[in-house]
Amino acid sequence: MSVIKDIEIMELGEADSSKSSPWSSTILILKLTTSDGVVGYGEAPTTLMTLPVYEEMKEVSRVFKGKEATEIQKNYLDFYKHSFYLPVSMESTAALSAFEMASWDITGKIYGMPVYDAFGGPIRDSVRAYANGWYDRCITPDDFVKKARIVVKMGFSGVKFDPFGDAYDNISAAQLENAKEVVRAMRESFKNLDLMIECHGRFNANSAIRAGLALEEYSPLFIEEPVHPDQFEGLIRFRERVGVPVALGERVLDRNLFLNYMVNNAVDVIQPDITNFGGLMQGKSVADMAYSFGIEVAYHNAFGPIQTAATLNLDYTIPNLLIQESFEAFNPKWKQNLLKSGYSLDNGYFKLAKGRPGLGIEVNERILEEYKLHGMEPFSDLEPPWVVQGTFKPAAHTRAKRRKKAR
């Protein structure tokens, strides 16, 4: 038997947060070691939740420690039984995800197989990626186009971006016009590039509808979280009015909670995040559920490279994969160097290291030591933590009007 013996929970980041990733300046890493010396790694997300998730991982430890590492479903359900708020508590689902992920890493190593083989085996040997995190400090159409040229030269055939500046809840005529100018410039400059529009769940339904109708003509691959995530009826109104495909799911914390979106035709592309969703079993199960509805999958993937490796193991197996989110090329160096090996990103496509057991990764222990932190991630009154750095600002012509009015 391979009993979980040692559990180490680590927070990683940079003391100088200005050098780190604005969308995830900290990550939580889990290292499980069994009684016979097999090591598995998992990852949990943060986003103004670093210490709550860190503390909840200690609670999950109380259930998993001393248990057989390969009895993943049993251990998962055991914690589910004890965790009263699990289906709607990000702290609980995120903490549990890291343990589930690390358990799969161990199980694959014990049986000498990649995790993707445990989920039915690969149906592809590479995964198309889209770029995210590339547009820091972009405000004007020229800003976006200039940086997008660099991304296209890297080989990406799709990009996601948030063109809405500092609009929140409502969107003014000037903010909407600037967003439209940005998307128009991107479409005119890159005819064959898939454009994905990020709303970050920031709008009420009326504003989301105005934005969606304004951007329809530029044929986005999808528009992501157009409506505040707790306003389901508003999303239905958006669907009735706007002809752009809808993607969502990074804040949906359980497979069963997706069902309402599916049966009500509220989504075209689901984006579960296996670091806050319960892990790989949930991620595969909801992909199978979506397949029955003809819905595609584009897993959310915004934190660290262990998450990426685990997500790719699912990408290799599901028939309804659309495309995979990637921050890799724009991550800070410490994140890029956290893994010595495991996967590659070349010319816009991911590839896992072939045939390696578990998640297929080799962790750089030096990074684990050098970048240990303990505390909450940075906070700024100037922009929320979910935007790409330097983008939550008024458009240039809007700023000029405000200055003129102030005089």
Q: pLDDT tens-digit profile of 250-309?
A: 999 999 999 999 999 999 999 999 999 999 999 999 999 999 999 999 999 999 999 999
Across the chain, what does the average pLDDT equal?
A: 95
Query: With 80 as the cut, is the pLDDT of residue 20 above it?
Result: no
Instruction: Single out the residue of 345, 286, 348 nearest to residue 318, CA to CA.
Output: 286
Of 82, 300, 374, 397, catalytic? 300
Instruction: Single out the residue of 292, 337, 382, 270 nearest to residue 22, CA to CA.
Output: 382
**Residue 396 confidence (pLDDT):** 67
* Domain locations in the chain as residue ranges: 4-116, 120-359
120-359 adopts what CATH topology?
TIM Barrel (3.20.20)
pTM of the model: 0.95
Mean pLDDT confidence for 13-22:
75
- Which CATH number is 4-116's, of 3.30.390.10, 3.10.450.50, 3.30.70.2340, 3.40.50.360? 3.30.390.10
Q: What is the pLDDT of residues 189-231, one digit of tens each?
A: 999 999 999 999 999 999 999 999 999 999 999 999 999 999 9
Q: Which residues lie across from 196 on neighbouring strands?
A: 160, 222
Mean pLDDT confidence for 29-41:
98
Instruction: Single out the residue of 189, 187, 183, 192 nearest to residue 161, CA to CA.
Output: 183
E strand spans, 168-218? 194-198
Backbone angles phi, psi at 112, to 5 degrees: 65, 35
Active site residue 200: yes
**Residue 405 confidence (pLDDT):** 53
Distance, in Å, from the CA atom of 341 to the CA atom of 31, rounded to the nearest integer, reads 17
**Residue 46 confidence (pLDDT):** 86
**Residue 23 confidence (pLDDT):** 65
At 338, the pLDDT band (50, 70, 90 cuts) reads very high
At 48, the pLDDT band (50, 70, 90 cuts) reads confident
The three-state DSSP-derived secondary structure of 30-82 is: EEEEECCCCEEEEEECCCCCHHHHHHHHHHHHHHHCCCECCCHHHHHHHHHHH
Instruction: Single out the residue of 280, 347, 235 nearest to residue 108, CA to CA.
Output: 280
**Residue 87 confidence (pLDDT):** 86
Active site residue 82: no
**Residue 378 confidence (pLDDT):** 83
Mean pLDDT confidence for 153-166:
98
Query: With 90 as the cut, is the pLDDT of residue 47 above it?
Result: no
**Residue 407 confidence (pLDDT):** 53
At 402, the pLDDT band (50, 70, 90 cuts) reads very low
Of 82, 200, 228, 374, catalytic? 200
Are the C-beta atoms of residues 57 and 44 closer than 8 Å to each other? Answer: yes
The region of weakest confidence among 104-113, 270-279, 291-300, 384-393 is 384-393
Mean pLDDT confidence for 336-360:
97
Are the C-beta atoms of residues 357 and 105 closer than 8 Å to each other? Answer: no
E strand spans, 315-396? 324-326, 339-341, 343-346, 349-352, 362-363, 372-373
SS3 154: coil
SS3 4: strand
